[in-house]
């Protein structure tokens, strides 16, 4: 089975996220589950090519082009066509961390992912050691797993679909904020992991274990 990781570069890069580093850690998790992995930084072209390309798993680890350059409506339209065609054929998607800020040129993106970063509303406390609350009673993907500590950013006040069931979350000012969830968009399986700011995030064994289970679910 083949996984395609689209990794932030060019207008999908930003000054805050080491995309090459985190994409390599994701690739290691995928290889550990038996997938062949291709990583590409040609995000617009490879999204567009999804009209015909069928990786067994698409992984998006990309930033928000609004931070790094002018909008490219033509590229975004082609990318939208490719992504919708790929998902429409029932193929799975894994989206990581800052990807929830991206793909603003795809109107369906929020419905696909189940939650997005909203400028002026969403934020995160300073990166550092954080307690992540796991909800093992909510889904077999996290059954038997406990809370864990990770060095990461904790996205707070994402705009999340009320139907989303958080598999892991954090608490801020007395409220639970979803961080990890699984859902479906039509026939396509979708998994979002709001953790993964840098390589340190993947040093947490429980974080890796959740992603390993997610990959098996996505390609099953």
In the chain, helix, strand, coil percent, each to 5? 35, 30, 35
Report whether pLDDT(138) > 90. yes
Q: Is the pLDDT of residue 171 over 80?
A: yes
pLDDT confidence of residue 36: 98
Q: What is the mean pLDDT of residues 5-21?
A: 96
Q: Helices 19-32 & 205-219, crossing angle to 10 degrees?
A: 60
Mean pLDDT of 98-126: 96
pLDDT digits (tens, 9 = 90+) for 27-55: 999 999 999 999 999 999 999 999 998 99
pLDDT for 110: 98
pTM of this prediction? 0.97
Give the C-alpha separation, 25 to 198, whole Å.
Answer: 9
> In order of start, what are the domains of the chain with their CATH numbers?
1-118+179-217 (3.40.50.880)
Q: What is the mean pLDDT of residues 73-90?
A: 97
How would residue 67 be classed by pLDDT, with cut points 50, 70 and 90? confident
Residue 70 pLDDT exceeds 80: no
Residue 61 has pLDDT above 90, yes or no: yes
Identify the helix (H) or strand (E) that includes residue 133.
strand 128-134
Q: Does 69 have pLDDT greater than 90?
A: no
Looking at every residue in the chain, the average pLDDT score rounds to 97
Distances (CA, A) of 33 to 109, 209, 213: 27, 11, 9
Would you say 127 and 152 are in contact if contact means Cβ atoms under 8 Å apart?
A: yes
């Amino acid at each position: 089975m083949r996984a395609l990781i689209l990794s932030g570069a060019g207008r999908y890069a930003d000054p805050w996220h080491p995309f090459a580093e985190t994409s390599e850690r994701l690739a290691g998790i995928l290889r550990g589950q038996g997938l062949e992995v291709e990583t590409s930084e040609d995000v617009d072209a490879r999204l567009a090519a999804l009209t015909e390309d069928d990786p067994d798993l698409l992984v998006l680890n990309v930033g928000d082009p609004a931070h790094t350059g002018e909008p490219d409506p033509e590229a975004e339209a082609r990318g939208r066509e490719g992504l919708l065609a790929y998902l429409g054929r029932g193929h799975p998607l894994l989206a990581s961390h800052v990807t929830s800020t991206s793909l603003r040129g795809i109107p369906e993106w929020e419905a696909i992912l189940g939650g997005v970063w909203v400028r002026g509303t969403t934020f995160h406390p300073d990166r550092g050691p954080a307690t992540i609350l796991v909800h093992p009673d909510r889904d077999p993907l996290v059954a038997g797993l406990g809370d864990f500590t990770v060095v990461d950013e904790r996205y707070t006040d994402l705009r999340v679909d009320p139907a989303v069931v958080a598999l892991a979350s954090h608490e801020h000012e007395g409220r639970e904020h979803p961080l990890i969830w699984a859902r479906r968009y039509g026939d396509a399986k979708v998994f979002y992991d709001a953790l993964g700011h840098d390589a340190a995030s993947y040093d947490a064994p429980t974080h890796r274990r959740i992603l390993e289970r997610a990959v098996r679910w996505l390609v099953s």
